[in-house]
Amino acid sequence: MSLDGERLYAALLDEIRAEFPRFRLIVKDRSVLQRSIARALAALTLGAQRRYLTDYVTTIGARVYVPAGWADRDPLDRVITLRHERVHLRQFRRWTLPAMALGYLLLPLPAGLAWCRYRLERAAYEESLRATFELRGPEALCDAAFRARVVAQFTSGAYGWMWPFRRAIERWYDRTAVALVG
């Protein structure tokens, strides 16, 4: 599967480059901006988000910032993640950098009820769930630990407690999974 995964990853990169000619993959810890964001997030979340540089992939405009060791990750995981990030690339193209920054970071609140961030991430995570189902099968999508990790992205400090309504996120996840699995 590794060779097939690498082919899928290479094909996805080609698709993204064709759709977004200015697309770039950049290692996060080599970016002054990303290191600064990491420090700010650690402070603003009172330490709840300390893995920004090492575990998270971030899209800003046509740039996708990846953690060191990205190339060593399982190729299917890279495909799933880049499918998520392609949703963000499309959002940036549609809404522009200033509108995305304003909505993602501040509207209506920067934490707790960050409705814009919640909606933008929910669309991207729907693609993550679809890709997980297609590449890993229904067992992966229905795995309790996987579900808990996705729910935590919305309700924990990982994304600044963007949406505090855990049960609503769990219902969204379950509806999405049922729709995919059939």
Taking only the tens place, the pLDDT of each residue in 10-31 is: 999 999 999 999 999 999 999 9
For residue 67, the tally of other CB atoms under 10 A from its CB is 18
H or E element in which residue 95 lies: helix 75-95
The structure's pTM equals 0.96
- CA–CA gap between residue 118 and residue 114 (Å, rounded): 6
What tokens does 83 get? 């499918």
Distance CA(159)–CA(112), nearest Å, equals: 10
Task: Please write the tens of the pLDDT for every residue from 112-135.
Answer: 899 999 999 999 999 999 999 999
Q: Considering just the CA atoms, what is the radius of gyration of the chain in Å?
A: 16
Residue 29 tokens, joined: 């810890």
Compute CA 164 distance to the chain's CA centroid, rounded to the nearest angstrom. Answer: 18
Q: Which residue has the tokens 């501040």?
A: 106
Whether 27 and 68 have beta carbons less than 8 Å apart is answered as yes
